[in-house]
Amino acid sequence: MILAGRPLLRASCSPPTVSQRRPFLSLGVSWTSVTKLGLHTKPRMPPCDFLPERSQSLSYNRVLEIHKQHLSPVATAYFQKPLLLHQGHMEWLFDSEGNRYLDFYSGVVTVSVGHCHPKVNAVAQKQLGLLWHTSALFFHPPIHEYAEKLSTLLPEPLKVIFLTNSGSEANDLAMLMARAHTNSTDIISFRGAYHGCSPYTLGLTNVASYKTKLPTGLSCKATMCPDVFRGPWGGSHCRDSPVQTVRKCSCAPDSCQAKDQYVEQFKDTLNTTVAKSIAGFFAEPIQGVNGVVQYPKGFLKEAFELVRERGGVCIADEVQTGFGRMGSHFWGFQTHDVLPDIVTMAKGIGNGFPMAAVVTTPEIAKSLAKHLFHFNTFGGGPLACAIGSAVLGVIKENCLQENSQEVGTYMLLKLAKLRDEFEIVGDVRGKGLMIGIEMVKDKTSRQPLPLEEINQIHEDCKDMGLLIGRGGIFYQTFRIAPPMCITKPEVDFAVEVLHSALIQHMERRAK
Q: Give the CATH number, domain containing residue 48.
A: 3.90.1150.10
**Distance from C-alpha of 435 to C-alpha of 438, rounded to nearest angstrom:** 10
pLDDT of residue 7: 35
Domain boundary among 299, 322, 345: 345
Q: Indicate the SS3 state at residue 171.
A: helix
Domain count, the chain: 2
pLDDT of residue 216: 85
**Distance from C-alpha of 265 to C-alpha of 337, rounded to nearest angstrom:** 21
Closest by Cα among 446, 453, 430, 451 to 502: 453
pLDDT of residue 256: 82
Q: Kindly report the backbone phi and psi dihedral angles of residue 312, in degrees, each rounded to the nearest multiple of 5, phi listed first.
A: -90, 165
Domain boundary among 325, 345, 365: 345
pLDDT of residue 497: 98
Closest by Cα among 436, 402, 479, 501 to 103: 479
Could you read off the pLDDT tens digit of each residue along the chain, which spans 511 residues?
334 333 333 335 543 333 333 333 333 333 344 444 444 568 999 999 999 999 888 999 999 999 999 999 888 888 988 999 999 999 999 999 999 999 999 999 999 999 999 999 999 999 999 999 998 889 999 999 999 999 999 999 999 999 999 999 999 999 999 999 999 999 999 999 999 999 999 999 999 888 888 888 889 999 999 999 999 999 888 999 999 999 888 777 777 889 999 999 999 999 999 999 999 999 999 999 999 999 999 999 999 999 999 999 999 999 999 999 999 999 999 999 999 999 999 999 999 999 999 999 999 999 999 998 888 999 999 999 999 999 999 999 999 999 999 999 999 999 999 999 999 999 999 999 999 999 999 999 999 999 999 999 999 999 999 999 999 999 999 999 999 999 999 999 999 999 999 999 999 988 8
Does residue 334 form part of some domain? yes
Does residue 385 form part of some domain? no
Under 8 Å between Cβ of 397 and 13: yes
Cα 495 to its chain centre, rounded Å, is 20
Does residue 48 form part of some domain? yes
Q: Are strands 160-164 and 187-190 parallel, antiparallel or unpaired?
A: unpaired
* Claim to verify: residue 232 and residue 325 sit in the same structural domain: yes
Does residue 308 form part of some domain? yes
* Residue 477 lies in domain: 2-103+399-510
* Claim to verify: residue 179 and residue 64 sit in the same structural domain: no
* Claim to verify: residue 250 and residue 334 sit in the same structural domain: yes
End-to-end CA distance of the chain: 50
Domain boundary among 324, 345, 366: 345
pTM beyond cutoff 0.85: yes
pLDDT of residue 41: 61
CATH number at residue 310: 3.40.640.10
* Claim to verify: residue 57 and residue 195 sit in the same structural domain: no
Does residue 361 form part of some domain? no
* Claim to verify: residue 207 and residue 316 sit in the same structural domain: yes
**Distance from C-alpha of 332 to C-alpha of 482, rounded to nearest angstrom:** 17
**Distance from C-alpha of 121 to C-alpha of 117, rounded to nearest angstrom:** 6
Torsion 351-207-479-282 (CA) sign: negative
pLDDT of residue 13: 53
pLDDT of residue 69: 93
Q: Are strands 434-439 and 477-480 parallel, antiparallel or unpaired?
A: antiparallel
CA distance to 201, 209, 240, 478, per residue, from 322 (Å): 19, 25, 16, 20
DSSP string, 254-267: TB-HHHHHHHHHHH
pLDDT of residue 236: 87
Under 8 Å between Cβ of 239 and 429: yes
* Claim to verify: residue 75 and residue 191 sit in the same structural domain: no
* Claim to verify: residue 214 and residue 334 sit in the same structural domain: yes
